[in-house]
Amino acid sequence: MGAHCCHEVKFEGMDPRYKRALILVIFINAIMFLVEMPMGFVGQSQALKADALDFLGDTCTYALSLYVIGKSGIIRARAALLKGISLSVMGLWVLGSTLYTVFYLNQPAALIMGSVGAAALAANLASVLLLVRFKDGDANVRSVWLCSRNDAIGNVMVMIAASGVWATGTGWPDVIVAAAMATIFLMGSFQIIKQANHELAHHHTAAAE
């Protein structure tokens, strides 16, 4: 079950139901990466590539989240901090590759973008439904929820980009959406890093007393 109203008592992921949900979400993300990244290259879509990279990052970070459940508060907070930093790196990579694409713009395949984006959205909505009751917790648990929520938002944006590519006959909607997704990655990473640093400071203070 999720955390209650007290800010000092946060769900730490020890519920077996949460662990089972997290394992299922890890498999969903791994499968979608293997599907979406090749299709991103086939469809020449930066937005699809960005979303596929997000699936890969989530697979790794969710596995880390599962591993540190039950560990000390400091270890869990450090794991969340690592996930926040990795999400920042991912966002910067997507932003950089998007800027590169601006100068070497190819029109992506709208049909591939739309169909793969729809499949990715279904996968992420399933993940969100599995995790929504566990969304309030420590930095480790919270980071899992934020990534899943951001993924679903990103998939909607990919589908909007596909519609824009089809309507305009240009690749600019794809580039714009990829840049917006990079911004979402960075904003999510800042939230995770902020909470992780707060929890690290709290645990260090508690240990010193």
Cα dihedral 114/119/125/130 (nearest 10): -170
What's the CA gap between 123 and 104, in Å, rounded? 31
pTM, whole model, 2 decimals?
0.68
**130 or 203, which is more confident:** 130
- The pLDDT, as a whole number, for residue 7 is 44
Instruction: Share the mean pLDDT of the chain.
Output: 78
For the chain, domains (ranges, CATH) are 16-208 (1.20.1510)
Query: What does the pLDDT average to over 129-156?
Result: 78
User: Residue 165: helix, strand or coil by DSSP?
Assistant: helix
- The pLDDT, as a whole number, for residue 98 is 66
In terms of Cα–Cα distance, which of 128, 141, 131 is closest to 12? 141
**126 or 168, which is more confident:** 126
pLDDT of 159-182, one tens digit each? 887 788 788 777 777 778 778 878
